[in-house]
């Protein structure tokens, strides 16, 4: 997983960068196949804004949080991303189980009559 951090309108400190990267690495606990993460932190007047974009196979997930402290904004944006990743992973599982359980993929047993919907 590649992690990129960007700071807009303020100087990014080493402590904040290390904190953000450590928090982002925790996302792998929920989903292993994360390709790329991009955290953009910006300051607008007194608001601290953190925006996280995560690329996974097949889609891009984004979340955004605003707070008065950048550390709080990073924690909030990661909390939102955790729920999105969990939801994405459950959708993949549902898709996989639905594919396995579809009647097209099940073999036909000999001697079992297949109902014909055209004739009633």
CATH code at position 35: 3.30.160.100
The answer to whether residue 49 is domain-embedded is yes
Tell whether the model's pLDDT for residue 81 goes beyond 90: yes
pLDDT score at 98: 80
pLDDT tens, 89-105?
Answer: 998 888 878 877 766 66
The answer to whether residue 30 is domain-embedded is yes
The answer to whether residue 109 is domain-embedded is no
Domain assignment of residue 66, given as a range: 2-93
DSSP assignment string, 19-75: HHHHHHHGGGGT-S-EEEEEEEEEEETTEEEEEEEEEETTEEEEEEEEESSHHHHHH
Tell whether the model's pLDDT for residue 44 goes beyond 80: yes
Task: Look at residues 41, 34, 27 and name the one whose alpha carbon lies nearest to residue 80.
Answer: 27
The answer to whether residue 98 is domain-embedded is no
For residues 115 and 84, the model is more confident at 84
Specify the number of domains making up the chain: 1
pLDDT score at 96: 79
pLDDT score at 74: 96
Name which of 5-14, 55-64, 88-97 the model is least confident about.
Answer: 88-97
- 20 burial type by CB count under 10 A (0-12 exposed, 13-18 middle, 19+ buried): buried
For residues 95 and 88, the model is more confident at 88
For residues 99 and 71, the model is more confident at 71
pLDDT score at 120: 52
First to last CA, the chain: 57
């Amino acid at each position: 997983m590649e992690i990129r951090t960007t700071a807009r309108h303020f100087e990014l400190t080493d402590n904040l960068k290390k904190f953000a990267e450590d928090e982002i690495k925790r996302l792998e606990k929920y989903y292993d196949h994360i390709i790329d993460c991009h955290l953009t932190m910006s300051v607008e007047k007194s608001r601290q804004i953190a925006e996280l974009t995560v690329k996974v196979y097949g889609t891009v997930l984004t979340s955004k949080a605003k707070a008065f402290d950048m550390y709080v904004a990073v924690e909030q944006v990661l909390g939102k991303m955790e729920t999105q990743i969990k939801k994405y992973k459950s959708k993949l599982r549902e898709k996989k189980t639905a594919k396995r359980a579809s009647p097209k993929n099940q073999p036909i047993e000999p001697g079992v009559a297949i109902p014909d919907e055209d004739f009633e």
